[in-house]
């Protein structure tokens, strides 16, 4: 039986790869997308989500625009990482579809509370929509099957400040609400995503297939690779979000520890920093499973194979 997924996302280059992986994976059914400010404005990421779905001939999947600002912090978009459009150098035609009228946070509530099937939430952007949904309808905490979160850095350095990862830095207060909600969470931090670098040779393998999908991936990741080279001296690019999505149906890619994890909401240099209480100083029960070990080639092979299949099914022939 396929797993029903709802995806809260800020597409974003690696988010777009997660959407494509979801569409290319028969183990899951993507029931809908809620969009969130982050890599680009909510209006822009909503347009991008619609355009990516239509690129993959999945324009029937509903998209719901969510919050436009963090709960407390000022807006922090990332054009230097994802480009002004949020999709790097990729140029997608204006989507024919429009977002649904319901707010993204209300979509999360409605889908979790109403579903006959249990639903898995995958959150790969700042957690503002998820936090709002918890505050509006606290019962989602018990009802949701599981929550996969891309975010945080446990033993790894930050990618936005020396200590903080982007999603938890952009809205640390939302992350704090979610981390302390009691939801059944699985966290995919930079500790594992930075071991899974999408390389030029991986892209060259995909480009053997002439398809709008491979052209999109090339144009989007070329920008993302230039960012990683210039800012972090990394050869390739870190595809955090598709890796998080992959764990919903292939958990064996990673090794996990059940830990008490918190996020710093003080106003100092540590804002947005996430940390695990490995020695249980606080005597608190673990609040999530954290992926801390990874088999990088297992993930990358899965990702490339699924992109090849999707590209072939939509080849330019």
Stretch that binds ligand RIB, among 11-19, 115-123, 209-217, 301-309 (CB under 6 A): 11-19
Could you say which of Ca ion, ligand RIB, none residue 35 binds, taking C-beta under 5 to 8 angstroms by partner kind? none
- Let me know: does 196 contact 239? Beta carbons within 8 Å: yes
User: In the bound complex, what is the minimum distance in angstroms from residue 241's beta carbon to Ca ion?
Assistant: 5
Task: Closer to ligand RIB by CB, 40 or 209: give it.
Answer: 40
Could you say which of ligand RIB, Ca ion, none residue 62 binds, taking C-beta under 5 to 8 angstroms by partner kind? none
Q: Is 129 in the site for ligand RIB (CB under 6 A)?
A: no
Q: Which of residues 25-64 bind ligand RIB (CB under 6 A)?
A: 38-39
**Residue 151 structure tokens:** 């975010």
Q: Which of residues 238-257 bind Ca ion (CB under 5 A)?
A: 241
Stretch that binds ligand RIB, among 6-14, 40-48, 171-179, 197-205 (CB under 6 A): 6-14
User: In the bound complex, what is the minimum distance in angstroms from residue 169's beta carbon to Ca ion?
Assistant: 13
User: In the bound complex, what is the minimum distance in angstroms from residue 317's beta carbon to ligand RIB?
Assistant: 32
Could you say which of Ca ion, ligand RIB, none residue 165 binds, taking C-beta under 5 to 8 angstroms by partner kind? ligand RIB
* Per-residue contact flags (x/-) with Ca ion for residues 112 to 151, judged by CB under 5 A: ------------xx--------------------------
At residue 33, φ and ψ (nearest 5 deg) are -125, 130
- Nearest-Å Rg of the Cα atoms of the chain is 18
Instruction: Count residues binding ligand RIB (CB under 6 A).
Output: 15
* Partners of 263 in the β-ladder: 274
Q: Which of residues 144-173 bind ligand RIB (CB under 6 A)?
A: 150, 159, 165-167
At residue 279, φ and ψ (nearest 5 deg) are -100, 10
Site for ligand RIB (CB under 6 A): which residue of 5, 6, 8, 10? 10
Task: Closer to Ca ion by CB, 241 or 308: give it.
Answer: 241
Could you say which of Ca ion, ligand RIB, none residue 202 binds, taking C-beta under 5 to 8 angstroms by partner kind? none
Q: Is 21 in the site for ligand RIB (CB under 6 A)?
A: no
User: In the bound complex, what is the minimum distance in angstroms from residue 193's beta carbon to ligand RIB?
Assistant: 7
User: In the bound complex, what is the minimum distance in angstroms from residue 30's beta carbon to Ca ion?
Assistant: 16
Closest C-alpha among 239, 273, 39 to residue 168: 273
Binding site for ligand RIB (CB under 6 A): 10, 12, 14-15, 38-39, 124-125, 150, 159, 165-167, 240-241
Binding site for Ca ion (CB under 5 A): 10, 12, 15, 124-125, 241
């Amino acid at each position: 039986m396929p797993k029903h997924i709802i995806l809260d996302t800020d597409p974003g280059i690696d988010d777009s790869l997660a959407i494509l992986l979801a569409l290319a994976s028969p183990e899951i059914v993507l029931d809908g997308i809620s969009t969130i400010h982050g890599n680009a404005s909510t209006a822009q990421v909503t347009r991008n989500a619609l355009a990516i779905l239509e690129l993959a001939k999945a324009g029937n999947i509903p998209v719901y625009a969510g919050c436009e600002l963090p709960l407390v912090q000022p807006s922090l978009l990332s054009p230097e990482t994802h480009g002004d459009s949020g999709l790097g150098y990729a140029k997608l035609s204006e989507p024919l579809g429009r977002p649904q009228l319901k707010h993204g946070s209300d979509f999360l509530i409605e889908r979790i509370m109403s579903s006959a099937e249990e639903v898995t939430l995958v959150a790969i952007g700042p957690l503002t929509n998820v936090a709002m949904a918890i505050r509006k309808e606290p019962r989602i905490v018990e009802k949701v099957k599981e929550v996969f979160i891309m975010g945080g850095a446990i033993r790894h350095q930050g990618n936005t400040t020396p200590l903080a990862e982007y999603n938890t830095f952009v809205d640390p207060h939302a992350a704090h609400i979610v981390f302390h909600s009691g939801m059944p969470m699985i966290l995919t931090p930079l500790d594992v995503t930075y071991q899974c670098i999408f390389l030029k040779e991986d892209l060259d393998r995909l480009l053997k297939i002439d398809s709008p999908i491979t052209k999109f991936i090339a144009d989007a990741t070329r920008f993302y690779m230039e960012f990683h080279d210039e800012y972090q001296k990394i050869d390739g690019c870190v595809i955090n979000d598709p890796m998080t999505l992959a764990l919903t149906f292939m958990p064996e890619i990673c090794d996990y520890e059940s830990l008490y994890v918190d996020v710093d909401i003080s106003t100092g240099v540590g804002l947005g920093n996430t940390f695990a209480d490995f020695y249980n100083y606080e005597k608190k029960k673990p609040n999530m499973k954290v992926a801390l070990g990874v088999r990088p080639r297992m993930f990358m092979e899965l990702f490339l194979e699924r992109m090849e299949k999707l590209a072939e099914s939509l080849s330019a022939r």
